[in-house]
Amino acid sequence: MTETVFDRSHVNPALVAASLSASALQPFWLDGLDVPSWPRLTGERRFDLVVVGGGYTGLWTALLAKQRDPDATVAVIEGRTVGWAASGRNGGFVEASLTHGEANGEKRFPKEIEQLNRLGMENLDEIEATVASSGWNCDFERTGTLSVAVEPYQVEELRAAHNGHTELFLDRDAVRAQVNSPTYLAGLWSTRSTALVHPGKLVASLATACAEAGVEIFEHSAVRGLDTGSTKGSVVVETKQGTAIAQRVALATNAFPSLLGRYRLHTVPVYDYVLMTEPLSAEQLASIGWDQRQGLADLANQFHYYRLSADNRILWGGYDAIYHYGGHIRPEYDDRPQSFEKLAQHFFATFPQLEGVRFSHRWGGVIDTSTRFSAFFGRAHQGRVSYAAGFTGLGVAATRFAANVMLDHLGGLTTERTELQMVKTVPPPFPPEPAAYLGVQSTRWALDRADHNDGKRNLLLKTLDAAGLGFDS
């Protein structure tokens, strides 16, 4: 076993403790965010389309449904508040990839990877065009991503991944001229594939656009179940205080238990943790450079993603991925001191010149991991119900593509999207407990070992790779 660059760095534990001591346990993006609130669903209401879940998937589905048919009556029914979950607490990397990166897509859908890449880029371009034409104030910046090698074996990985004129390979000096870290050995700047956004403002923009288009939004209205037995040709959507009778239903519930029993084991909730610094001073920012403001990510199986906010804070997230036995989602899991300490230590190893910077916010969020690490699509109740989930932590842009797929399905349409293998096939489910827990833990352990062994994958990971279940970031 070899030490990683983060193990080797000797960051003073007192510095780490001090940097976290005043942080608030709250997603920075939702702190003070101006989003309207909406009523509960009460009584009995009828709609052409009911969307369950008020994150990006649900809001895009409702908005695009109104754009396709302005006369349709559309409702979004959200169990808590719009955008409180992953959509309000992510890193804000709006990535073109629909497949959780090109390597994962190439392995799973080799025949259609070029088509998927094109569709993903079109989807990102359309998001950018919508943001611009609608005047959404969501700090959208098409900066691209800079992938950085921090171990010698990763330099060759980057060189091999370099393709296309929109990507720039940067050697050690060139990458440090972009962003100044003593840990960087090389970089690959993918200039068009990614934008950055303020995730909370994107939620607020989407929700406001939905409301302006005539979508009715209901909050604090957890859907308990769907019933097609009692009404002919429609679906009854039940909440504690109200009922919606819908011609069509789109399920956009992400990591939360699927309302379709057959998909309950197709995702597991995995926690990801994030820190946000105070705004950097001009001198602190100058000590790093970062003039092009790219989104950054390092390369191991356990990787960090980081970026600047509009007011020049650094968001620093990733590395640990924590699954709790039974697949529970609980508020107390949002706080995980050992993950935050590890993140802070790795932050100062990367940017030692920022010694003394403090973190203002820390938070956790839940990701809907599927066994193919990218979205899948389900249908039920004679095509009246559509479902999309499984984004596995890369859904800021892909959720809009998924919204279009669900609307194609619900409209009975055959489109380029519905003909994709990625859309037609559903990945294998996870096993039930205790096998799910043991499987996730042993995979995490093996990935950590690979990161400590120049990326070399052990027998377990090779077996999972061969079965199409392996993860390669």
Ligand X SMILES: Cc1cc2nc3c(=O)[nH]c(=O)nc-3n(C[C@H](O)[C@H](O)[C@H](O)COP(=O)(O)OP(=O)(O)OC[C@H]3O[C@@H](n4cnc5c(N)ncnc54)[C@H](O)[C@@H]3O)c2cc1C
Residues that bind ligand X (CB under 6 A): 52-58, 77-80, 84-87, 89-93, 95, 222-223, 252-256, 259, 272, 274, 317, 365-367, 391, 393-396, 399
Shortest spacing between CB 298 and ligand X, in angstroms? 14
The nearer residue to ligand X, 400 or 457, going by C-beta atoms, is 400
Distance CA 45, CA 112 (A): 42
Separation between Cα atoms, residue 385 and residue 187, nearest integer Å? 44
CB 92 within 8 A of CB 396: yes
Closer residue to ligand X in complex, CB, 7/126: 126
* Min separation Cβ 199 and ligand X, Å: 7
Q: How far is the CB of 222 from ligand X (least distance, A)?
A: 4
C-beta of 233: minimal distance to ligand X in Å?
A: 23
Cβ closest to ligand X, residue 66 vs residue 361: 361
Report how far residue 262's alpha carbon sits from residue 30's, in angstroms, rounded to the nearest whole number.
Answer: 33
Q: Are 423 and 398 in contact (CB under 8 A)?
A: no
Closest approach, Cβ 456 to ligand X, in A, equals: 28
Cα–Cα distance, 358 to 364 (Å, whole number)? 18
For residue 412, how many other CB atoms are within 10 A of its CB?
8
Judge contact between 409 and 245, C-beta under 8 A: no
Contacts of 407 (CB under 8 A, 6+ apart): 61, 64, 65, 68, 250, 386
DSSP secondary structure string, 313-374? -EEEEES--B--GGG---GGGG--HHHHHHHHHHHHHH-GGGTT--EEEEEEEEEEE-TTSS
Please, what is the minimum distance in Å from the beta carbon of residue 70 to ligand X? 23
How far apart CA 273 and CA 363 sit, in angstroms, is 6
- The CB-of-196 to ligand X minimum distance in angstroms stands at 9
By beta-carbon proximity to ligand X, the closer residue of 52 and 461 is 52
Q: Which two tokens stand for residue 419?
A: 């003909």
Query: Which of 208/353 has CB closer to ligand X?
Result: 208
Considering Cα of 12, then 313, then 189, then 178, what sign does the dihedral take? negative
Nearer to ligand X, 284 or 365 (CB): 365
Q: Which is nearer to ligand X, 393 or 470 (CB)?
A: 393
Shortest distance, position 173 Cβ to ligand X, whole Å: 28
Instruction: Name which of 187 and 200 has its Cβ closer to ligand X.
Output: 200
